Amino acid sequence: DTEVTQTPKHLVMGMTNKKSLKCEQHMGHRAMYWYKQKAKKPPELMFVYSYEKLSINESVPSRFSPECPNSSLLNLHLHALQPEDSALYLCASSQGVNSHTEAFFGQGTRLTVV
Amino acid sequence: GDSVTQMEGPVTLSEEAFLTINCTYTATGYPSLFWYVQYPGEGLQLLLKATKADDKGSNKGFEATYRKETTSFHLEKGSVQVSDSAVYFCALGGGGSQGNLIFGKGTKLSVKP
């Protein structure tokens, strides 16, 4: 199983809402990632979890709050977002965080903030 | 720091044409190199990888060779199909404090019947 599963596939939320994005993998990978992708751009790294601990936070605003409940699950909690936060949010996982391991990506959550 | 530069396109080809998408990199170490593909409305899929100099990655008719002397990892396919229409990203393994992958800007390929 080389699948990373993200839910929901689409999400529309108001600027005062609280919502969560979910990601799951069963490949035994110990590193998990959140990326943000705007139209016609490459993915931008947001957060990296290694062995369930946050190892990288790329200066992401606090309205985005990651959580890694266990080695298979990764959540992204959203609160008080702005319209410019509308994007495709991609989850990925890899065996480790080094320069030789490939990452496996989910299908993404298409987020629209209204 | 490490970086990837790829031709931005868009690239438009007729079916059965030869494809080349150029990718060059700057790296302090000897990272692995990757090509990812993103079909419309989907996430990224790993297309191929190469882990060291002179390695050739291949998959679904696509090939790329890790060239240390020219710091390049160009993607090629001998005969493209309409179904190959997608955005292609070249990436290098950043590791360490740079996270996992450093992406190029992506090249959109459109193949016409």
Residue-wise pLDDT tens digits, A18-76? 999 999 999 999 999 999 999 999 999 999 999 999 988 888 999 999 999 999 999 99
CA pair distance A99, B86, nearest whole angstrom: 26
A98 touching B, CB under 8 A?
yes
Closest CA to B89 of B71, B76, B70, B102: B102
Number of CB atoms found within 10 A of residue A67's CB: 14
Closest-CA distance of chain B to residue A77, Å: 20
Number of residue pairs across A and B with CB atoms under 8 Å?
71
Q: Which of A34, A89, A99 to mutate to test the interface with B (most CBs of B within 10 A)?
A: A99
Interface contact B99-A48, CB threshold 8 A? yes
A80 touching B, CB under 8 A?
no
Q: Residues A76, A37, B13, B67: what is their CA dihedral angle, to the nearest 10 degrees? A: -90
- The answer to whether the beta carbons of residues B82 and B59 sit under 8 Å apart is no
Q: Percentage of chain B with pLDDT > 70?
A: 96
- The answer to whether the beta carbons of residues B84 and B76 sit under 8 Å apart is no
A57 touching B, CB under 8 A?
no
Interface contact A108-B94, CB threshold 8 A? no
- Please name the residue of chain B whose CA is at the shortest distance from the CA of residue A6: B43
Q: Which of A49-58, B20-29, B78-87 has the least mean pLDDT?
A: A49-58
Closest-CA distance of chain A to residue B100, Å: 6
Reported confidence tier of residue A103, pLDDT bands at 50, 70, 90: very high
